[in-house]
Structure 1
Amino acid sequence: MPFATDLERKLAAGIESGLLRHLHAVLVGQHGRIVLERYDRGPDEAWGAPLGEIDFGPDTLHDLRSVTKSIVGLLYGIALDRGLVPPPEAPLFAQFPDYPDLAGDPARAGIRVEHALSMTLGLEWDEFTRPYTDPANSEIAMENAPDRYRFILERPITGAPGARWTYSGGAVALMGALIARGSGRKIEEFAREALFKPLGIADFTWSAGRDGIASAASGLRLTARDLMKIGALLLDGGLWQGNRVVSEDWIEQSFRPRIETGDGWHYGRLWFLDEAPIGGVAHRWIGGLGNGGQRLWLQPETGIAAVIFSGSYNVPDSWVTPMRVWREIVLANFSG
């Protein structure tokens, strides 16, 4: 395929020139067909634990980091379709009656499930200005807290719910708790039955904290091909090989802009949203983004999906390489 060969050549040139660094895997597909698949070798880690030098391949599990958040959003939609979790308009704190002092706080009564899904809780959370190596980073502090859910729910109020976007792994941890409570299963067990098994995903791990609770914010590990399956599911409106896995309405609602992130992008229900051109025409894209350069990029109107795994964990400019791959290698070489 000349087109695929051209993509491969340009990606290889970027890597060899040093412009594209620390890449572990790159997959590109359109309308369900893989047009580029490349794996490399490099140092890796699993949720912060060093793994040494890894020869990556189709069967290699890789940290998704915060792409996990977007997968949890998809799982919430599946649970909602089954009537297992409260709808987005439901009061959030009422779902946690085991914290009566917080559930009964009038100042928190206006916070809805939707505000967790869009990261607009109006509660203090600092996950952007501090690296994940800093114990004061709110996600790390949550993992180290005696009770992760109380830690999240009792954060000081900083503004009205829905008014301002604040990146929060805590918001997603609450969604994971609602899925687990509603389904009666750990989130990894629900994911296996409700999402992974229908897609033929057999191999995955989900890192858990010291309390044994899987991290809904960052703990999932999948292969690049299996993450691409999830991308194909989303691009096909929730269908996999003709079978309904999640409602099309949930996907549409998840991909609808809810709030500006402050850097020109928008946020839906646990997905980043923006536009990028193909052939001079702007098309929206949807992204699941994770620490170190992990990406699931989707462009629904053109049927394009890309998975990127990288090893630039906790590096401030880790966003540069995956963005260049997406814009300069993928989108720049498609005609739509």
Structure 2
Amino acid sequence: MHHYQHRLAALVFALAAALPLTAPAAPAALDSARITALESAIASQDIKQITSVLLLVDGRVAYEGYFNGGTAETLNDVRSASKSVTAMLVGAAIGDGSLPGVQARVYDYFPAFTAGHSVDPRLRAMTVEDLLTMSTLWECDDENAFSAGNEERMYVTEHWLDFALSLPVKGFAPWMTRPEDSPHGRAHAYCTANSFVLGAVVEQATKRPLADYAAQVLERPLGITASRWNRSPEGIGMGGGGTRYRSRDLARLGELVLAEGRWQGRQLIPSRYVRAMVSAQATAGDGSDYGYQWWGLKLPVDGHETTVWTMSGNGGNYVFVMPEKKLVAVITSQAYNRSYAHPQSRRILTEFLLPALR
């Protein structure tokens, strides 16, 4: 272990007492050989471009490491992991009465648009839950470069909201699975425009800019004092990606989900909503479960394929939440658009952090 890593390890245990996230128990004892192996893999570039690894067990910091220029103060661009935060804001808006529930109809929040555009009745029936589960009838698929709603097409337009609300109804070619034949009755297609419109709905419902509402209902109550939200060209908060948080603050978001929305005696998000958010609501193309903008990944845990709920973003950015182990793991990474990004971050959890707990 390098000298600076020794000093960091000492600092971590000194700081652990200063970060009362939930329980006051002592930090979990880890198998130092597994941690040394992880740090060696990062140092040797066997695992590339990782900037932080943070493990909380029972609300306490069990491990914290920063690499490749990352620090405790770095505002990490977690890309699409932002979508999971937007889903949490939807829950908060339902909890405070700003939104009536996940069955609220999307187009009802944009009367200026509907006044000037004819909207297909099937789209008029679209709900917030359709956006949350990435199963709208918009022809929108970020994984298909030919899709009308592909995110790259949205980014080069001036009015993202009009772009999304004007998308055509998707057709189902003979080889495509129709909603009624799909798991959970939802034909899932990953579409960042869904998450952007979700943020726009929250702005309309709460009459607050997305970043301001996030600060009010999530960040300030959790003690998060630094973050950065992007906005679209027309000034709407970008709920679909690019939000920046410090690693410890990402852990706080994970801890809130672990505690079913309750923090220091306050219910920030309704527990029923949090449970739905991290339950299978649709099935993604890779076989993962998909909740409300949260991924249920099938990962090897203790020798068995296990569903692990997580925030996930381009580059290999993750916040893993495992209630059965009282565990939150944060991995930040800058391996943007690299094929190894997601596999190696998942490997950090399954091959290093979880075995270190034994």
TM-score (norm 1): 0.88
Which residue is 2:122 aligned to? Answer: 107
Question: Residue 87 of structure 2: SS of its match in structure 1?
Answer: helix
Which residue is 1:318 aligned to? Answer: 341
**Contact 1:93 1:103 (8 Å CA) reproduced:** no
Indicate which of 98, 103, 117 corresponds to 1:84: 98
* Post-superposition CA distance 1:88-117 (Å, at most 9, x none): 122222332222255642232332221101
Q: Aligned ranges for residues 1-336 of structure 1 at < 5 Å?
A: 3=30, 5-41=32-68, 55-100=69-114, 104-130=119-145, 138-159=150-171, 163-280=186-303, 283-335=306-358
Alpha-carbon distance in structure 1 between the residues aligned to 2:117 and 2:335: 39
Letter in 1 for 2:168: P
* Post-superposition CA distance 1:236-294 (Å, at most 9, x none): 11122232211111100111101110212110011001344543455431011101111
**Contact 1:201 1:226 (8 Å CA) reproduced:** yes
Structure 1 range deviating more: 304-313 or 154-163: 154-163
Q: Which has the higher strand share?
A: 1
Structure 1 range deviating more: 204-213 or 249-258: 204-213
Letter in 2 for 1:119: M
Alpha-carbon distance in structure 2 between the residues aligned to 1:89 and 1:210: 29
Alpha-carbon distance in structure 2 between the residues aligned to 1:103 and 1:274: 39
Letter in 2 for 1:139: E
- CA gap of 1:94–1:181, structure 2 versus 1, over 3 A, is closer
**5+ residue gaps in structure 2?**
1-27, 172-177, 180-184
Letter in 1 for 2:190: Y
- CA gap of 1:75–1:225, structure 2 versus 1, over 3 A, is same
Q: CA RMSD in A?
A: 2.3
Structure 1 range deviating more: 169-178 or 6-15: 6-15
**Contact 1:119 1:168 (8 Å CA) reproduced:** yes
Identity, in percent, stands at 28
Alpha-carbon distance in structure 2 between the residues aligned to 1:334 and 1:2: 7
Alpha-carbon distance in structure 1 between the residues aligned to 2:338 and 2:304: 33
**5+ residue gaps in structure 1?**
42-54
- CA gap of 1:6–1:141, structure 2 versus 1, over 3 A, is same
**Contact 1:72 1:172 (8 Å CA) reproduced:** yes
Alpha-carbon distance in structure 2 between the residues aligned to 1:293 and 1:275: 16
Larger radius of gyration, structure 1 or 2? 2
Alpha-carbon distance in structure 2 between the residues aligned to 1:330 and 1:13: 14
Aligned length: 319
Which residue is 1:45 aligned to? Answer: none
* Post-superposition CA distance 1:35-74 (Å, at most 9, x none): 1111012xxxxxxxxxxxxx22111111010010000000
Q: Which has the higher helix share?
A: 2
Letter in 2 for 1:248: S
- CA gap of 1:114–1:2, structure 2 versus 1, over 3 A, is closer
Letter in 2 for 1:98: A
Letter in 2 for 1:199: L
**Contact 2:200 2:237 (8 Å CA) reproduced:** no
Alpha-carbon distance in structure 2 between the residues aligned to 1:36 and 1:184: 40
Question: Residue 270 of structure 1: SS of its match in structure 2?
Answer: coil
Question: Residue 66 of structure 1: SS of its match in structure 2?
Answer: helix
TM-score (norm 2): 0.83
Alpha-carbon distance in structure 2 between the residues aligned to 1:332 and 1:115: 37
Alpha-carbon distance in structure 2 between the residues aligned to 1:108 and 1:234: 31
**Contact 1:111 1:121 (8 Å CA) reproduced:** yes
* Post-superposition CA distance 1:8-54 (Å, at most 9, x none): 2121132234321111111011111111111012xxxxxxxxxxxxx
Alpha-carbon distance in structure 2 between the residues aligned to 1:137 and 1:175: 15
Alpha-carbon distance in structure 1 between the residues aligned to 2:108 and 2:118: 6
Alpha-carbon distance in structure 2 between the residues aligned to 1:124 and 1:32: 42
Alpha-carbon distance in structure 2 between the residues aligned to 1:158 and 1:129: 13
Question: Residue 244 of structure 2: SS of its match in structure 1?
Answer: strand
**Contact 1:26 1:36 (8 Å CA) reproduced:** yes
Alpha-carbon distance in structure 2 between the residues aligned to 1:96 and 1:209: 16
* Post-superposition CA distance 1:207-237 (Å, at most 9, x none): 2233233311112100000100111111111
- CA gap of 1:128–1:104, structure 2 versus 1, over 3 A, is closer
Question: Residue 197 of structure 2: SS of its match in structure 1?
Answer: helix
Alpha-carbon distance in structure 1 between the residues aligned to 2:31 and 2:234: 46
